[in-house]
Amino acid sequence: MGAVPFIGGVDGAGKRLSSTEIYDPTKGAFTPGPSMTIERADFSLDALPDGRVVAIGGTAEFLRPPDDSEVLDPAATAWIPVDAPAQPRRQHASI
């Protein structure tokens, strides 16, 4: 089993998060990962065929939809903003 990323969401005080933590099951430990460019909750996260992942939609500050989507390139260890869908979305599903 490989590492498992925990990305964005909401903390115990209701604050949206931009942080990423990576859980390594072989060590039983979390390590920090790159933060997204904005705080984001209620979004979908999809794996792309080339190994990158994309965060789409959700809610940002004041429950507004984010202005963009973000792609994480593991090789670059950074989130890169990309266009958002034409219709803002949150609490949606994707495959």
pTM, two decimal places: 0.82
Cα pseudo-dihedral 47, 49, 52, 57, rounded to 10: -40
**Strands lying side by side in the sheet with 29-33:** 4-7, 20-24, 29-33
At 22-45, the pLDDT tens digits run 899 999 999 999 999 999 999 999
The backbone region for 58, taken as left when phi is positive above 0, alpha when psi lies in -120 to 50, beta otherwise, is left
Mean pLDDT of 7-18: 93
Q: Across all residues in the chain, what is the average pLDDT? A: 88
CB of 20 closer than 8 Å to CB of 5 = yes
